[in-house]
Structure 1
Amino acid sequence: MYLTCINWSVNLHPQDPFFFGYGSLVNRRTHVYGQARPARAQGWRRIWRHTALRPVAILTAIPAPETEIEGLVAAVPGADWAALDARECDYDRVLTFDIAHGLTPPPEVAIYTIPETKHPRAAEPTVILLSYLDVVVQGYLDEFGEAGVDRFFATTDGWDAPILNDRAAPTYPRAQLLAPTETGLVDHYLKALGSEVRQG
């Protein structure tokens, strides 16, 4: 269901490019890319994309001029994108310029996105994996606190999709152990959204 890969870290070069992560890549437990720091991307918004390729929804970012999203930027040593491209194999990697990160000199920054026409659409909405959502929320909580979690939900569309509760046997390959307070926070937002939660 998901393609896993091995990441590595080496000494950084001054010209190393960076990626901007806005989903699971915000959770530092899921990768070992160095020089990571919180950042903001102007002109993007998240959406759950439903494709015929996978039985689960995929979180992507789409252009949205009036929206700003938070995330994490991190260096890609030697511009070796192979492992990250494999991890994000459903996406296009594109350069993005309106990123607030505080790095000097400003590096080249790429974002992974799935244009609506890239993959065949699913016949009906696919499920959002709770094990994946847990990882994303844990990352936002670590980096931006509860206010950041609130902004994550507010700047993400597609919450009408059903949620598959696979916490007991996570399907997501980079699933993490969450504290009860963390899972409780996820559950709080899903309840507030009126999401349909199905047991896995």
Structure 2
Amino acid sequence: MSDPYFFGYGSLVNTRTHNYPDPQPATLKGWRRAWVATPRFGVVLLTGVPAPDHKIDGLIAQVPDADWGALDAREAGYDRLAAHKDITHSHSAEPEIAVYAVNSDNFLERESHIILLSYLDVVIQGFNEVYGEDGVRRFFDTTDGWETPILNDREDPQYPRHQTLSDAERGLVDENLERLSAQVQERHEASLPPDF
């Protein structure tokens, strides 16, 4: 039996954050992305949500020997779901593919929750490398929840897998946030959860 794959649609698109083999572009149909708050974290997570007639770009990569332990730990707070029937890719075989998503029963109101800019930066760096500027724009346009405040933590990144971005990559993030009228707060302005 061949090794399974995962489909990543956020930070997993950035191969600087993992070393899973055979990464390649793929598309998941019937889904959109959304920023959601959960009881586990004081910041919002990027998740996939079922959405008929929609599709999102992402990346598939191999999980050698079906050893899901490390990836399940990285994606704590998400459920791992079978999704291979809804994913298009150019892989020569038809591997089993899973996607991680937050269970909608765990969604909270986003009040007092924030998006970490260091997290978003990692996601966009990955999308830019795989899909270019058009793909970055599609990411923003196929993601809901941009009314959630964004904490500018670039000087002191809170996201554990943060990466260094070029000026051009940061500009691409900022340009799209401005296009969507997203609210970016400096750390001293932000209303952070007590345990943040």
Q: State the alpha-carbon separation in 2 of the partners of residues 151 and 199 from structure 1.
A: 26
* Alignment deviations for residues 133-174 of structure 1 (CA, whole Å, 9 cap, x no partner): 000000000000000000000000000000000000100011
Written as runs of structure 1 = structure 2, the 5 A alignment for 1:37-186 is 37-96=24-83, 97-117=85-105, 119=106, 121-122=108-109, 124-186=111-173
> Contact conserved, 1:52 with 1:123, CA < 8 A, in 2?
no
> Contact conserved, 1:53 with 1:120, CA < 8 A, in 2?
no
Taking only aligned residues, the RMSD between alpha carbons, in angstroms, comes to 1.2
- The alpha-carbon deviation at position 116 of structure 1 amounts to 1.4
Query: Residues 191 and 123 of structure 1: is their aligned pair in 2 closer, same or farther, counting only changes over 3 Å?
Result: closer
Q: List runs of 5+ in structure 1 lacking aligned partners.
A: 1-13
Q: State the alpha-carbon separation in 2 of the partners of residues 173 and 58 from structure 1.
A: 13
Helix, strand or coil at the partner of 2:104: coil
Q: State the alpha-carbon separation in 2 of the partners of residues 189 and 123 from structure 1.
A: 21
Aligned residues, how many? 186
One-letter identity of the residue aligned with 1:17? P
> Contact conserved, 2:38 with 2:108, CA < 8 A, in 1?
yes
Helix, strand or coil at the partner of 1:67: strand
Helix, strand or coil at the partner of 1:181: helix
Query: Residues 40 and 120 of structure 1: is their aligned pair in 2 closer, same or farther, counting only changes over 3 Å?
Result: closer
Indicate whether 1:199 and 2:186 are aligned: yes
Structure 1 partner of 2:193: none
> Contact conserved, 1:94 with 1:112, CA < 8 A, in 2?
yes
Q: TM-score, normalised by structure 1?
A: 0.90
* Alignment deviations for residues 85-116 of structure 1 (CA, whole Å, 9 cap, x no partner): 00001100000111111212200000001121
Q: Runs in 1 of length 4+ with deviation above 4 angstroms? A: none
- The alpha-carbon deviation at position 53 of structure 1 amounts to 2.1
Q: TM-score, normalised by structure 2?
A: 0.92
> Contact conserved, 1:50 with 1:125, CA < 8 A, in 2?
no
Q: State the alpha-carbon separation in 1 of the partners of residues 107 and 173 from structure 2.
A: 30
Identity of aligned residues (%): 53
Structure 1 partner of 2:17: 30
Q: State the alpha-carbon separation in 1 of the partners of residues 142 and 186 from structure 2.
A: 26
> Contact conserved, 2:115 with 2:148, CA < 8 A, in 1?
yes
One-letter identity of the residue aligned with 1:103? H
Structure 2 partner of 1:6: none
One-letter identity of the residue aligned with 1:162? P
Helix, strand or coil at the partner of 1:72: strand
One-letter identity of the residue aligned with 1:38? P
- The alpha-carbon deviation at position 120 of structure 1 amounts to 5.8
> Contact conserved, 2:44 with 2:110, CA < 8 A, in 1?
no
Q: State the alpha-carbon separation in 2 of the partners of residues 123 and 131 from structure 1.
A: 19
Structure 1 partner of 2:194: none
Q: State the alpha-carbon separation in 1 of the partners of residues 109 and 156 from structure 2.
A: 25
